[in-house]
Amino acid sequence: MADQSRYQTILALVQANRFSAAFEPMKALVTDFPAQPEYWHLLSVILLKLGQATGAIDCAKKSVDLAENEADYALQLASALEKGLQLSAAKAVADNVVAMANNSAFHWDKLGTLFSAMSEHEKALTMYQKAVDMAPQRSDFRFNLATALRSNGQLAQAEQAYDQVIAANPTDFEAYNNRSHLRKQSLENNHIETLKTLLTKGFSDWRDEVKICFALAKECEDIGQYGESFSYLQRGCQLRRQQSNYNVDSELKAIDQIMATFSQQVIASSNSVSESNEPIFILGLPRTGTTLVERIVGHHSQVVSAGELNNFSIKMIDLVKDFAKHQQPPVPLDKYNLISNSIEIDFTQLAQDYIDSVRPLIGKSRHFIDKLPLNYLYIGLIMMAFPKAKIIHLTRQPMDACYAIYKTLFKDAYPFSYDLEDLGRYYLGYQKLMNHWHKVLPGKILDVSYERLVENQVEESKRMMQYCQLPWQEQCLNFHENTQASTTASAAQIRQPIYKSSVQKWRHYQAQLQPLSDFFRRNGVFCS
């Protein structure tokens, strides 16, 4: 007979996000009662929260085998498969859940999140709409619908949905911030007074204050209130930075380690026999035009965009861990050992694992785009796995680049972005690394200047196509007509033709950004 008291105790730990504490007692419980599907299900949930996708998949399969038509268990299996980059299998399981009778609003919402994670954004939108239709009182379901509308370019509908979320739940502060970024606010139509009132009321969670500060900074900038905009932005950034244990020195040390590891000789010694020229990597610092270039190149008939993928680094890390595990003695893998041991892996295998993992996203397209900005850290590894890959690197005027990063509230990535000193120091490290890549890979990387691109779209677009060995197609100039979904911070901007208003935008804040421009000048970085 199952032990429900032990189960309830473990469930309380899970609900308190104490997943490490829940793991061992849950493992013991499934050992004692292996015929209980809900026990295998909860163990799968715990393992997935602990980042152990393989174990989570195995446990989820057991729960599904024991209770074949249970939507909750199937959804957990699909989630674990997605996290394990087994996308074809994940989609098949998710499609089976769609076909099940009597799905609840929760199930439709969960399916929306799953399909969104698998870049099935139109399908995700349909799932979220079903959830809202079934449970219109649930503002969290409507929030997800609004976000899907934004990703799919339905910006007016997204704003209306966010309005409804806020009306139903005035403390959904993320909805306020998302709404502010859907369009350029005007003097006649903005939310500034509402946002200012929220700031006077105080917050139980510092994250909520940060969101409202970033929303106010955006809306004040839109209507030309630059002094107020920066004061709110600085307040939000300082609060966000105070809550972080981030140390930029650790990342700069990692960059030095990358440069020391990847010499020209090491890269040339790659054992990869991959002939694939499918990947086009578009990379650089965030907010420098990577999404713009993705839309231009991705509007070509021979190219599909797979979005911002972590697949390459995940597959690389898996192979390095496997290599280190079989050394005598086994190699402990901190960040720096991971870098130094990454050159020991089978690069043909890395190329194949990566392509296999993205195949469900790209189909049989001749070329695909991987637009993860941080892939600039892995350029050496990319070229060792894919000697024929194309790499487009976006550059932008340093002060404009840094200001654009500083004013963006990232969810988890880019922790250097909330402090001007951190930002300046990281920029120097990034610049040093890119100089290194150009030195050890001469002629392999195409630099594209954001400023030159917006000034001469035709010439720069043709130059990119020539580098990618793609025949010129006029449709690439009409990138804003590309209907593919986008989940990036530029999701609203890319729906309009190219514009120049972001060039030299930092000048509106020249006094406030003086410490950063002085830092760059002292370190030989030219800021025109």
452: domain CATH number is 3.40.50.300
Distance CA 394, CA 382 (A): 17
DSSP type of residue 430: H
- Which residues sit opposite 303 in a β-bridge? 367
Range of the domain at 6: 1-102
* pLDDT for position 325: 85
CATH code (residue 49): 1.25.40.10
Compute the Cα dihedral for 507, 513, 518, 524 and give only its sign: negative
For residue 504, give the nearest of 450, 425, 460 by alpha carbon.
450
Determine, yes or no, domain membership for 239.
no
Of 72, 102, 132, the residue at which a domain comes to its end is 102
Q: Which residues contact 188 (CB under 8 A, 6 or more apart)?
A: none
* pLDDT for position 333: 82
Phi, psi dihedral angles at 207 (to 5 degrees): -60, -35
Query: What is the pTM (predicted TM-score) of this model?
Result: 0.91
Profile the chain (528 residues) by mean pLDDT over runs of 10 residues.
84 95 95 94 96 96 93 96 95 95 93 94 96 96 96 93 97 97 96 96 94 98 97 97 95 97 95 94 96 94 94 95 84 88 95 95 93 97 97 96 96 93 97 98 97 94 97 89 60 63 88 95 85
* pLDDT for position 527: 75
Instruction: Find the radius of gyration of the CA atoms of the chain.
Output: 24
Place of tokens 């599909």: 304
Determine, yes or no, domain membership for 487.
yes
Strands 367-370 and 303-305: parallel
Structure tokens belonging to residue 461 = 């677009």
Decide: 271 and 348 in contact? Cβ < 8 Å. yes
Structure tokens belonging to residue 451 = 């400023």
Phi, psi dihedral angles at 328 (to 5 degrees): -120, 115
SS3 category, 8 = helix
Of 102, 130, 151, the residue at which a domain comes to its end is 102
Of 39, 69, 102, the residue at which a domain comes to its end is 102
Structure tokens belonging to residue 157 = 């509908």
Determine, yes or no, domain membership for 257.
no
Decide: 368 and 179 in contact? Cβ < 8 Å. no
Determine, yes or no, domain membership for 354.
yes
Determine, yes or no, domain membership for 133.
no
Strands across the sheet with 445-449, in order?
303-305, 367-370, 279-283, 390-395, 445-449
Determine, yes or no, domain membership for 224.
no
Determine, yes or no, domain membership for 226.
no
Q: How many domains does the chain have?
A: 2
